[in-house]
A and B are shown apart, each in its own frame.
Chain A
């Protein structure tokens, strides 16, 4: 991979830092009037998701990371791995539990996800922003209580638990924002 100097650091650039692929979030030029110039850089470690802040001497370079985001369809899970397919080439990729991470509680077969490939293998999976899922477990619905504004936990078919309004029942399908884990509305 090419090397990138601090003055080429842009938001979204993928670089290697201490052996891990990272995505640059922010890059700020700092220079005391009479001193060494440097760049304060915020990066997200793509393996752990942690945000780091590092300061490099201006002009220093980091190696680019072979990282690519790709839309893929989720196929199935065989107990050990989760399988994703590139829609154009039908090429399949197997992701381990680490890569799937928190996405697994939202995944339904045939969902289109963003899979981040690192050196050709899935590194992380981002589920669709909105998913529609069936409630499989919750306290019985309180009819006529739609105006109260209270909430209760409901377990969804994929395993996630979200807070829902009191009137909802087992078997209802709801829309959820996967970025916040919040209930968005009843689908039917």
Chain B
């Protein structure tokens, strides 16, 4: 029989509706305006670890957006001030207990703030959501990437040689990690060795390795290592949000995109053209700001104790 029914219970769908309303209420109270940017764009992300879904129209190539980031940055450069977007995002090939190719993302930007101020607001938001749900707020922890990494693996991730990281990755993963890049070895080690042992509650990890900067500014930490002004939030050991003190240098962003495109080409992945609209907006001038993207389905999973993302969305991909 065709399984036409939703994957989420009717009670879960009501919790979901309340969560979406509570999120909008928070931003309304904090003077942040909602924007509904396009889901279908002519350009897309160049990041070699994020695959877009191609959707062609009007005789040209298009893509379902993997996040609202580029459109939102163009709005910020145009002078909108603080904005948020609560909508869908798409990532090709991602499906599992915590992944669905289409998912709900909350992304927002605060002008004049840095990443540490924004972490504070993420904590306030989560606390308000838990309270509105009749639950007590979760404990909040903050620590640098190097602190958590060293605590679990006894190695400084910024100072370790590639050889050291590869050996650790082979031990933690399989022999196939022997020739991997620094960024990939760090991803494996953090996901497999560090993430599952993070404390319960809301954990902010900041000062990511410089090789994982993406769209964040870099800085030198107190030990003299170049680090990224990027943070991630984990809720009860599950990755929930990713934030940046945003890079504003159009030339540097263009170089990072070009490096992404070279990496894609080397890995035989589809090559996408860089988004000239975004580069032009950055050249015009992005206000100093911090931004963060938060997985709404995962937040609902944690709030309601669901094991699988399919239990919290009306129709996951296997029911579509």
Contact = CB atoms under 8 A, between A and B. Distances in A.
Interface of A: 7, 18, 28-38, 40, 54-58, 60
B188 A29 contact: no
B178 to A, nearest CB: 12
Of listed A7, A40, A55, residue having the most chain B CB within 10 A: A55
Contacts of A32: 187, 190-191, 239
A153 to B, nearest CB: 42
20 contacts: A7-B93, A18-B175, A29-B95, A29-B96, A29-B99, A30-B191, A32-B187, A32-B239, A33-B242, A34-B47, A34-B50, A34-B212, A35-B184, A35-B191, A38-B173, A38-B187, A38-B191, A40-B192, A54-B174, A57-B176
Nearest to A58: B93
Contacts of B177: 57
Contacts, number: 66
B5 to A, nearest CB: 24
Interface string B237-252: 0010010000000000
A56 B212 contact: no
Nearest to A55: B173
B94 A28 contact: no
B49 A37 contact: yes
A98 to B, nearest CB: 25
Contacts of A31: 49, 94, 96, 99
A56 B49 CA distance: 15
Contacts of B271: none
Given A31-B99, A34-B242, A55-B172, 15 more contacts: A29-B95, A29-B97, A30-B191, A31-B49, A31-B94, A32-B190, A33-B295, A35-B183, A35-B191, A38-B191, A40-B192, A55-B192, A57-B176, A57-B177, A57-B184
B271 to A, nearest CB: 17
A61 B173 CA distance: 14
Contact of B187 (A35, A40, A56): A35
Nearest to A38: B188
A31 B103 CA distance: 14
Contacts of B173: 38, 54-56
B303 interface: no
A36 B239 contact: no
B214 interface: yes
Contacts of B93: 7, 37, 58
Interface residues of B, number: 30
Interface in B18-56: 47, 49-50
A54 B172 CA distance: 8
Interface of B: 47, 49-50, 93-97, 99, 172-177, 180, 183-184, 187-188, 190-192, 212, 214, 232, 239, 242, 293, 295
B212 A55 contact: no
A34 B49 CA distance: 7
Given A35-B212, A36-B187, A60 B94 contact: no
B96 A33 contact: no
A56 B176 contact: yes
Contacts of A54: 173-174
B233 to A, nearest CB: 11
B165 to A, nearest CB: 13
A37 B50 CA distance: 9
A184 B192 CA distance: 43
A36 B48 CA distance: 9
A29 B47 CA distance: 19
A40 B188 CA distance: 10
B49 A35 contact: yes
A121 B191 CA distance: 40
Contacts of B47: 34
Contacts of A58: 93
A34 B187 CA distance: 9
B190 A29 contact: no
B99 A36 contact: no
Those 6 A-B pairs whose CB atoms lie nearest each other, nearest first:
A29-B96, A35-B187, A55-B173, A54-B174, A36-B184, A36-B187
Contact of B96 (A30, A34, A55): A30
A29 B97 CA distance: 7
A55 B174 contact: yes
Nearest to A33: B242
Nearest to A39: B96
A51 to B, nearest CB: 15
Nearest to A27: B96
B96 A28 contact: yes
Contacts of A29: 94-97, 99
Contacts of B295: 33
A56 B177 CA distance: 8
A19 to B, nearest CB: 11
